[in-house]
Chain A
Amino acid sequence: MMNRREFCKTTMIVAGGLVIPLAALEVFNPKRLLAEKSGDDKGNVRWVFLVDIHKCVGCGFCVNACKVENEVPYDANVTRTWVERYVVTKDGQTSIDSPKGARDGFTTQKIDQGHLGDKEIDPASIAKAFFVPKLCNQCDNPACVQVCPVGATYQTGDGIVLVDRSWCIGCGYCVMGCPYGVRFFHPVYHVAEKCNFCYHRITKGMKPACVDACPFGARKIGNIRDPEDPVTRIITSEQVNVLKEEFGTKPQVFYLGLSREVK
């Protein structure tokens, strides 16, 4: 016969034993743990970006505005957005550069080749030249979100990939996982940093700093779920392209006039 003391003891053990596996279910609930698409997937906003390469002159106002707006140290050699210059000569050679991310624009005709110094290109030999602004592609299948070991980087319901500065451990796996090289370590906070289409602005009805700063309308932001949005109209009706589609990341920054030389 069981006495009261034993009964209480056994009950507590059984209850405790049941709670532990139930708690594990809570801890390992995959839906709660997944950082991807945490918001409403079927909402009426999905931010996309449109870059018109024909309109970009490489002034770098966008890079400048971005650095100031998002408090990325001005002189640090990292940037959330940048502009690349492509110079293709008649013999088929492509020279590319982006000195300081084109923060100050392109002030010389020489091509910056890193530690090899500058390269002079004879203007007569140039077949074509153009500028390509780059920023985070806010991919539909973001590699960076997949590889974050602690879920510190996540995608919102409206498609923007964000970083939780209070949770990032700074392993750099997301930096390695991004095929576009948009991620870096913030020089002040020492956590992963990236372009987020100025999420603090677009969610309040404003435009990203780079879009506002561009004097030529080369950068536009839009909502692909709104068929009346002018950006949506261009993307759906004109010949647009994306970068590095082969990685399966489904990038959401669309380019008008993207040439095959663009890396």
Chain B
Amino acid sequence: MVHGEAWTIKELFVYPNEYIYWSIQIVMYPFMTGLVAGAFVLSSLYHVFGVKQLKEIARFSLVFSLALLPVAMMPLLLHLQQPQRGIYVMMTPHFTSAIAAFGIVFTTYGLIVISEIWFVYRRFIVETVLELRAKQNRCNVESVRLVLYSLLAMGAMDLSPEALHKDERAVGILAGIGIPVACFLHGYAGFIFGSVKANALWMTPLMPVIFICSAVVSGVALCIVTYIVTMEIRKLVSAWKRKNNPRLLSSDELRSAEIQTVTLTSKYLLMFMVLAITLELLDLIFRNYTAVKSWDILRSVIYEKDFFKIFVLQYGFGNVLPFIIFLLPGLTIRRALVGALLVLMGVFMMRWNVVIGGQAFSASFSGFMEYRLPIWPNSLETLKEGLFGALAVIITPFVLFFLVTRVLPVFGVEDTH
């Protein structure tokens, strides 16, 4: 079977070689990089602009963006027909291609995130090393931890106030450089689509900007969701621990801290959401008004074929509804959680409508293609580029986050600030 044939349904006249070649994994790619960039921007609000109330969620979202980092690459590898050659993009980059810079942008960004985390956690790492060294009888686990943390410390054991102050400055600088790089990482994903002149839906200079705004929206929303979930778990744990140790924070105290952080974060979420929607609507209105050659087929895709996906799921449930949820007075944790989840769904649908919607019509403008997501895999192709492949991409960052936080805990740690 030809690649793409398994999930493409053709209607009217479509060129014989046309299929939906960019499927679910290419929907996942901008979605995941968007989450990375958004999470990083959120953490930078604290480190660069000194939004003190975001302290708690800042470290959290920084570590989360680290966990998301390898996952931004995963959908691309799952999508490639020759994944073992993926490294060629780094080895022989052909710089007229928008994809060629991926390796460079991605590596730069990865290095910034990793070094920023190192500076944020240096104090914790060194303190852990000293504490473990001081112990007389170390069990096996503790010995392994000592080796691990000693390696992480990389010999920089100085904890004097001057050294800590230097750490702090390094974090500020890295977060400052990180914002444009994170925006570039994602705006660049938008450029990959926006520069395809053969595709009437994708080709717009607004695409990178739209992608950046929706990236921040999705990243912030995901941080809210994960933050709420981890806080709920912490509450349960602290309630259980308080039975033995009443000096610990009560779950009420935790809750008030939680709602404060969530309320403030949701304000930033709304701000970027307004920006994203404005740009998306501008694009739509502009296409409608100018009505160039491609508009006839685009209109039937946007207003007929994909109406439910665009206007109901993306704009209705993904934008308008969470807007109301967040703006109504007296925000509760549960409402914030529902709102943030809806926003995530909305951004996902936006990626879907761009990537799949862009292939919903033939380049002949005389026919349509419908995408049927492979659910139950019957070949490697439908496994990689089907529901299970997509789920693997969604689950991986949470597994990684769990593993990373075993080494670098996000709560109850004194960072260099």
Which residues of chain A have a CB within 8 Å of any CB of chain B?
A: 30, 33-36, 76-79, 82, 84, 94-98, 100-101, 113-116, 134, 143, 145-152, 167-173, 175-185, 187, 190-191, 246-248, 263
Check B395 for interface membership: any CB of A closer than 8 A.
Answer: no
Closest B residue, CB atoms, query A178: B198
Q: Which residues in chain B, 345-387, are within 8 Å of chain A measured between CB atoms?
A: 362-367
User: Closest Cβ of chain A: how far from B406's Cβ, in Å?
Assistant: 35
Which residues of chain B have a CB within 8 Å of any CB of chain A?
A: 1-5, 9-19, 21-22, 76, 79-83, 85-86, 88-89, 91-100, 102, 192, 196-199, 293, 362-367
From B10, B192, B199, B365, contact of A115 by CB (8 A): B10
From A33, A116, A171, A175, contact of B12 by CB (8 A): A116
From A77, A82, A246, contact of B5 by CB (8 A): A77
From B95, B102, B198, contact of A143 by CB (8 A): B198
Q: Is the CB of B99 within 8 A of A113?
A: no
Number of inter-chain CB pairs below 8 Å: 163
From B12, B80, B82, B198, contact of A177 by CB (8 A): B198
A147 to B9 Cα, complex, angstroms: 27
Tell me if A's interface is mostly helix, strand, loop or mixed: loop
From A30, A96, A169, A248, contact of B364 by CB (8 A): A96
From B1, B9, B86, contact of A114 by CB (8 A): B9
A196 to B17 Cα, complex, angstroms: 15
Closest B residue, CB atoms, query A153: B94
Chain B residues whose CB sits within 8 angstroms of the CB of A134 once the complex forms: 15
Q: Is the CB of B92 within 8 A of A172?
A: no
Q: What are some 8 contacts across the A-B interface (CB < 8 A)?
A: A96-B367, A145-B96, A147-B96, A167-B92, A171-B79, A172-B21, A172-B81, A179-B198
A205 to B199 Cα, complex, angstroms: 37
Q: Is the CB of A173 within 8 A of B97?
A: yes
Q: Is the CB of B197 within 8 A of A143?
A: yes
Contact of A147 with B81 at beta-carbon distance under 8 Å, contacts A33-B94, A97-B13, A167-B88 already known: no
Chain B residues whose CB sits within 8 angstroms of the CB of A76 once the complex forms: 1-2
Closest B residue, CB atoms, query A96: B13
A173 to B99 Cα, complex, angstroms: 9
Q: Is the CB of A151 within 8 A of B92?
A: yes
A182 to B198 Cα, complex, angstroms: 12
A98 to B10 Cα, complex, angstroms: 12
Chain A residues whose CB sits within 8 angstroms of the CB of B364 once the complex forms: 96, 181, 263
Q: Is the CB of B97 within 8 A of A175?
A: no
Q: A183-B17, A247-B197 are in contact. List 13 more A-B contacts (CB 8 A).
A: A35-B94, A78-B17, A79-B17, A82-B15, A143-B198, A147-B196, A150-B85, A150-B93, A167-B88, A175-B17, A181-B362, A182-B17, A185-B81
Chain B residues whose CB sits within 8 angstroms of the CB of A173 once the complex forms: 97, 99, 192
Closest B residue, CB atoms, query A94: B366
